[in-house]
Structure 1
Amino acid sequence: MNSRYWSTDRLAELLADRLGWPPPVDCSLDESGPFTRDELAGGIDRDRFLAAVRRLNTGPGGEPWLDEPRLAQVWDAVTRIGDGLSSGNEDFFKLLLSGVVVDAPPWMQGARTRVVRLVAWDDPDANDWLVATHVPIRRPGYTGVPTVELDFVVLCNGIPFVVGACSGPDRTDGVTGAIDRLRVLSGERRLVPDRSVPGLFRYVQLLVAVDDERAKLGTVTSLPEHFAEWR
């Protein structure tokens, strides 16, 4: 195994073991992963997201009520967030908290609209969790590097909640270098050639930078000095 990935695999396995999630999935280019290089390019695994949203939102009888037109309304709402990293991230955070308003079906009594929740905050285990490592992301339409790789991503209902960068034993830049790589990928720090995938990072709620001894947490707009120790 390339030592660059030693911390990546260990951390992903720890998350899965401690939190009861399924074993991490290796999404290397030469592996068969749960999605292609294109499916996360825009930020969310569409099929996984819509399937989870439909399952989590049930009617009075406990049956899912979201049909294709209403699922399309949900998808339109989450993809219409701001293009900017900061503004888009803020817009999506509000949707995570408040849900998405859609037209109520004719048979449903009461209000003409209904709120669709994107995450089951009151029952974490009801959500669809996936820990993916070595995740390739194609950068369609961007100049610079055509495909980049994320060390690990934690998806909740197809949403990339957490993106992490690891610094393995063969790197000397430690957690500081891992933070720097996260900022390059998000577009907060520009390099030539460009390696950013801002469309994905608009949806990311937490960044994790790890080396063999330390871990730090931040958000997509955190400066390096604002990353906090993960204890």
Structure 2
Amino acid sequence: MFYKLDEEHYVENPFLFQLQRLGWKIYRQNKDNPEDTKEIISFTSSLEAEYGESQRLRESFKEVILEGVLRESLKRINPWIEDDQISEVIRRITTPQSNSLLEANKEIHDLLLENTSVSENRKTGEKSPTVKFIDFKNPDNNSFIAISQFKMNITGTEKHIVPDIVLFVNGLPLVVVECKSPAVADPISEAITQLMRYCNRRGVIEGNEKLFWYNLFVVATCNQVAKYGTITSEYEHFVEWKDPYPFSLSDVNPDGNVTSQQVLIHGMLSKENLLDLLHTFTIFKEDPKSKMIKVVARYQQFRAVKKMIKRLKEGKTPTERGGIVWHTQGSGKSLTMMFMVRKLYHNPEFGNYKVVFVTDRKDLEKQLNETSRSVGFTVKLARSIQELKELLKTDTPELVMAMVHKFQERELKGEIPVLNTSPNILIWMKMVTVAMLVFWLFKIC
């Protein structure tokens, strides 16, 4: 039980302790000496840290990545790669061509997902072999390190910032956490302001943007309430993660009294979930103000997609593999559909599926088409019944969209023919009812 409401004992240390339970290595940075980074071996009941041997993870407060860890990770994931090639790959991910923070963030995000290549695998002679930064298929093949009090130079000055917790995957800082005591008047807003200061979002140089080139999302927490957002999120766009799926609340805390912070950590920062959020559930899209924003899925989108994939894998009959997903207005139905398609295509067993979207309104058709483009997919629009029939005849893996009225029998001449008997056709229907928005996952044809 925690009796102190101060930031370190009530918020930061429990955060680190839970990460440790999930398999993260925990370090605390010496604020005065970057070479002195202590690994926290265990926590006592009062959550005071016991330190092990000093670890040299970086040479100065100017360094953003943990280069030694990145080198080791690249070699482990790509065992054929040579040292000079590792240096070439590291230069590529540490020197983006873009100027703005958001553009650099997107460039590096694309690199992490699409990987890079070098001229040759010198062991086999293969030309332009792929070099992976992250092993998405085997989470435990990656390095997961959390550093508390990660001191950084403010760009161009001798001053510093000290983010409370920075989470590194393979030496790259993917998550920044700011902790505040719940005794503060408005702890979450204060933490968000601090995060915005760290990445220079307030119009002045008061942080270090390089730390956020690699950022997936940021977290503002006071333990009882924890919210996450991206480098483009405004205050009102920071939200809680309310379900630790696939964990249960008893997994999070067997004693009950689960806090918002605990749910967020298990739901977003377990190894598999974090890599899944990076690989599948993050997009860059245009908002109504015609500017690009970065979006990380909300918990209901993540949970829905994971459950649908599970049903498709485990169902024995078309009925068992189908179902209904209920979404309320403004909950992101179009994005859920896009995340689902991404997840399908990340699974080899579903990579050859034809996905058919059916909507009942023109504006929904337009919205879904625009959303699909924002996540890199091309949708084939069926503008007539005949065109829809032709698209449904093929067994090619693609996305097809149609309005529901194209299925009306009165517009068909003759009997409805059998167009395709493939088991690899997934039909979705997104439609509006009087009371609520409903998002259907229909059975496999």
- Which among 156, 164, 171 is matched to residue 142 of structure 1? 156
- Which among 92, 102, 106 is matched to residue 118 of structure 2? 102
Task: Give, in whole Å, the separation in 1 of the partners of 2:109 and 2:100.
Answer: 14
Given the alignment of the two structures, is residue 167 of structure 1 paired with residue 188 of structure 2, yes or no? no
Task: Give, in whole Å, the separation in 1 of the partners of 2:147 and 2:188.
Answer: 20
> 1:186, CA displacement in angstroms?
0.9
Report if the CA contact (8 A) 2:5-2:181 is conserved. Answer: no
Task: Give, in whole Å, the separation in 2 of the partners of 1:156 and 1:169.
Answer: 29
Match of 1:153?
166
Matched to 1:125, the amino acid is D
Alignment of 1:1-231 (within 5 A): 3-6=6-9, 7-17=11-21, 19-22=22-25, 24-29=26-31, 32-33=36-37, 34=55, 35-36=57-58, 38=60, 41-57=62-78, 64-81=79-96, 82-110=98-126, 112-139=127-154, 142-143=156-157, 146-190=159-203, 194-231=205-242
Report if the CA contact (8 A) 2:5-2:183 is conserved. Answer: no
Matched to 1:157, the amino acid is N
> 1:170, CA displacement in angstroms?
4.4
| Secondary structure in 2 matching 1:229 | coil
Distance 1:77 1:227, change over 3 A: same
| Secondary structure in 2 matching 1:160 | strand
Which one has the largest radius of gyration?
A: 2
Task: Give, in whole Å, the separation in 1 of the partners of 2:116 and 2:20.
Answer: 29
Report if the CA contact (8 A) 1:28-1:133 is conserved. Answer: no
Q: Give 5+ residue unaligned stretches, structure 1.
A: 58-63
Matched to 1:27, the amino acid is Q
Report if the CA contact (8 A) 1:184-1:190 is conserved. Answer: no
Q: TM (normalized to structure 2)? A: 0.46
Percent identity among equivalent residues? 24
1:111-142 CA-to-partner distances (Å, cap 9, x unmatched) read x1011100111111111111111111123x51
Deviates more, 1:147-156 or 1:29-38: 29-38
Q: CA RMSD in A?
A: 2.1
Task: Give, in whole Å, the separation in 2 of the partners of 1:118 and 1:37.
Answer: 22
Q: Identify which of structures 1 and 2 has the higher relative contact order when contacts are C-alpha pairs closer than 8 Å and 6+ apart.
A: 1
Q: TM (normalized to structure 1)? A: 0.86
| Secondary structure in 2 matching 1:103 | coil
> 1:172, CA displacement in angstroms?
2.2
Deviates more, 1:101-110 or 1:7-16: 101-110
Report if the CA contact (8 A) 1:45-1:159 is conserved. Answer: yes
Q: Give 5+ residue unaligned stretches, structure 2.
A: 38-54, 243-445
